[in-house]
């Protein structure tokens, strides 16, 4: 297998690697470099300014607002989404009552639920955001139409109300991602041997105990990678798309929904402050890596073989 090996390796790697270097790696390196300049993005000239952008960042109230919201996203969204998904997938796979042929089974219609729950995952986040923008509409929207039918006389303005807007956005992100994790965890749970459950059942364990003592520990690796994945979505493209499409401004009302990726976008492409935008981007990079490191560290346990 050695003959002409290096020529072959080089020949196969050169195109993908070149494409990746030009469009992904190089811009990342440039971005970090630009964060130390006063580049506007509008003209090619710029000068080095040292840490000026970073000191500006620390005294920029709007940055701290976007930071707060992004941190809230990255803590709450994985927690809520993964808890719901774990609950649903446990019910779908293990939660059913005993039947004649199998001591352990999911509830009736588990296959149907899995198909339905997954629907939002195949839709573009842009479509989902648009759909909910209308559903949240205070006058013509589905939500308030429904609430009024129930007899609520003065329903909230949802996206128009600074108190509610951020929660509305988060609800949409939960809505669109739970199904994916239900299916992911279901696949993981189906590889846990049935005997474990049967043994627990014989010992008289309730379903809650079974979940915390058997399912969760054996599923832990999947939960952990799901957690990181959801966190990256909550800090990245999904959060950007939902906020940018759904909210007024976007980012409003009264900056109540601004998140870090949107703030980068606005500074770079609307305000002509490309260098400052990359500085915010570097902060976003730090938050992302810090989050991943914390989850990996908190979630580290002995790997269970079965």
Which residues between 97 and 136 bind other proteins (CB under 8 A)? 97-100, 107-108, 112-127, 130-135
107 versus 294: smaller Cβ distance to other proteins = 107
Torsion angle defined by CA atoms of residues 109, 118, 71 and 135, in that order, rounded to the nearest 10 degrees: -100
Please give the backbone phi and psi of residue 105, each rounded to the nearest 5 degrees, phi first. Answer: -160, 165
DSSP string, 282-300: HHHHHHHHHHHHHHHHHT-
Stretch binding other proteins (CB under 8 A), from 57-65, 151-159, 161-169, 235-243: 235-243
Residue 117: name the closest of 89, 137, 159, 90 by CA. 89
Task: Indicate the length of the chain as a whole number.
Answer: 306
Least separation in angstroms between CB 246 and other proteins: 10
Q: Which of 226, 234, 256, 257 binds other proteins (CB under 8 A)?
A: 226
Residue 261: name the closest of 179, 171, 169 by CA. 169
Residue 284: name the closest of 292, 52, 247 by CA. 292
- The helix/strand/coil state of 105 is strand
Least separation in angstroms between CB 50 and other proteins: 19
145 versus 217: smaller Cβ distance to other proteins = 145
- The helix/strand/coil state of 48 is strand
Q: Which of 156, 222, 252, 255 binds other proteins (CB under 8 A)?
A: 222
Stretch binding other proteins (CB under 8 A), from 47-55, 58-66, 160-168, 218-226: 218-226
4 versus 50: smaller Cβ distance to other proteins = 4
Residue 57 is given by DSSP the state: H
**Between residue 282 and residue 301, which ones bind other proteins under the rule CB under 8 A?**
282, 284-285, 288-289, 292
Q: Which of 159, 241, 243, 295 binds other proteins (CB under 8 A)?
A: 241
Least separation in angstroms between CB 154 and other proteins: 17
Q: How far apart are CA 289 and CA 293, in angstroms?
A: 6
DSSP string, 29-43: HHHHHHTTB---SSS
Write the CB contacts of 290 (distance below 8 Å, at least 6 apart in sequence): none
**Between residue 4 and residue 43, which ones bind other proteins under the rule CB under 8 A?**
4-6, 8-9, 11-13, 15-17, 19-20, 22-28, 30-31, 34, 41
Q: Does 219 bind other proteins (CB under 8 A)?
A: no
Q: How far apart are CA 23 and CA 195, in angstroms?
A: 50
Number of residues interacting with other proteins: please give it, by CB under 8 A.
109
Q: Which of 43, 59, 153, 206 binds other proteins (CB under 8 A)?
A: 206
**Between residue 247 and residue 266, which ones bind other proteins under the rule CB under 8 A?**
261, 264-265
Distance of CA 68 to the CA centre of its chain: 16
Least separation in angstroms between CB 162 and other proteins: 22
Stretch binding other proteins (CB under 8 A), from 3-11, 59-67, 159-167, 210-218: 3-11
Q: Which of 75, 102, 187, 254 binds other proteins (CB under 8 A)?
A: 187
Tally of CB atoms within 10 A around 156: 17
């Amino acid at each position: 297998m050695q003959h002409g090996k290096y020529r072959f390796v080089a020949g196969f790697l050169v195109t993908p690697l070149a494409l990746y270097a030009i469009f992904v790696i190089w811009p990342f390196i440039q971005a970090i470099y630009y964060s130390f300049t006063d580049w506007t993005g509008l003209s090619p000239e710029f000068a080095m300014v040292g840490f000026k952008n970073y000191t500006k960042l620390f005294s920029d109230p709007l940055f701290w607002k976007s930071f707060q919201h992004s941190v809230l996203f990255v803590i709450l969204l994985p927690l809520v989404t993964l808890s719901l998904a774990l609950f649903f997938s446990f019910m779908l796979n293990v939660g059913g009552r005993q039947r004649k042929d199998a001591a352990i089974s999911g509830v009736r219609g588990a296959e149907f639920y899995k198909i339905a729950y997954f629907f939002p995952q195949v839709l573009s986040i842009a479509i989902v955001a648009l759909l909910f923008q209308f559903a949240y509409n205070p006058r013509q929207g589905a939500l308030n139409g429904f609430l009024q039918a129930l007899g609520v006389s003065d329903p909230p303005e949802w996206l128009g109300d600074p108190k509610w807007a951020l929660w509305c956005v988060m609800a949409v992100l939960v809505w669109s991602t739970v199904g994916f994790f239900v299916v992911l965890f279901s696949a993981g749970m189906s590889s846990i041997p049935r005997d474990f459950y049967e043994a627990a059942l014989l010992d008289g364990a309730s379903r809650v105990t079974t979940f915390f003592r058997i399912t969760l520990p054996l599923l832990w690796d999947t939960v952990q990678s799901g957690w990181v994945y959801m966190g990256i979505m909550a800090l990245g493209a999904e959060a950007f798309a939902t906020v940018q499409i759904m909210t007024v401004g976007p980012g409003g009302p009264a900056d109540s929904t601004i998140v870090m990726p949107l703030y980068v976008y606005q500074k770079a492409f609307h305000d002509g402050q490309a260098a400052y935008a990359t500085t915010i981007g570097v902060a976003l990079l730090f938050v992302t890596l810090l989050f991943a490191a914390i989850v990996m560290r908190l979630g580290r346990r002995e790997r269970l073989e079965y």
